[in-house]
Amino acid sequence: MVGLSNKPERASHTVAKYLQQNGYRVVPVNPSYTGDQILGEPVYASLHDAATALAASGTAIDIVDCFRNPDDMLPIARDAVAVRAGCLWMQLGVVNQAAADLAAAAGLDVVMDHCIKVEHAAGTR
């Protein structure tokens, strides 16, 4: 999860905790907290760092769930393509068509302006 906060009152933290409680492993990517842990997981500075660490245990990044400013999304989309993620998910309020187009052209599934927690709880995705 790109932009995961260590503050329990933040939406990213609430969503990550929900996903963990529903069987998903959430890997925090946030350069502000590199070296710390959030929800029991080590925090990585970049998607590349997270993918490298996960690859050592035979794990790959499936969904890149983003809690970032829409203007920050194009480089994140490039990184999601580079680490061969399966999906680029932009949370509520995060809309960047150029990032979506780049990821889709590389074969990633793209979801924009939707909350993964809401969609999961509703059984729609």
Domains and CATH numbers, the chain: 11-122 (3.40.50.720)
- Asked if pLDDT for residue 114 goes beyond 80, the answer is yes
pLDDT at 123: 84
Q: How many Å apart are CA 99 and CA 8, to the nearest integer?
A: 28
- Asked if residues 91 and 116 have their Cβ atoms less than 8 Å apart, the reply is yes
- Of residues 68, 69, 51, the one with CA closest to residue 60: 51
Q: How many Å apart are CA 125 and CA 115, to the nearest integer?
A: 10
Q: At CB < 8 A and 24+ separation, what contacts does 109-113 make?
A: 111/87
The model's pLDDT over 48-99, given as tens digits with 9 standing for 90+, comes to: 999 999 999 999 999 999 999 999 999 999 999 999 999 999 999 999 999 9
Label residue 71 exposed, middle or buried (CB < 10 Å: 0-12, 13-18, 19+): exposed
The string over 24-54, giving b where at least 16 C-beta atoms fall within 10 Å of a residue's C-beta and e elsewhere, is bebbbbbeebeeeebbebebbebbebbbeeb
Confidence of residue 13 (pLDDT cuts 50, 70, 90): very high
Non-local (6+) Cβ contacts of 10 within 8 A are: none
Predicted structure pTM score = 0.95
pLDDT at 124: 78
pLDDT at 102: 98
Query: Could you tell me the CA-to-CA distances from 35 to 20, 76, 120 in Å, in that order?
Result: 20, 20, 29
- Asked if pLDDT for residue 125 goes beyond 90, the answer is no
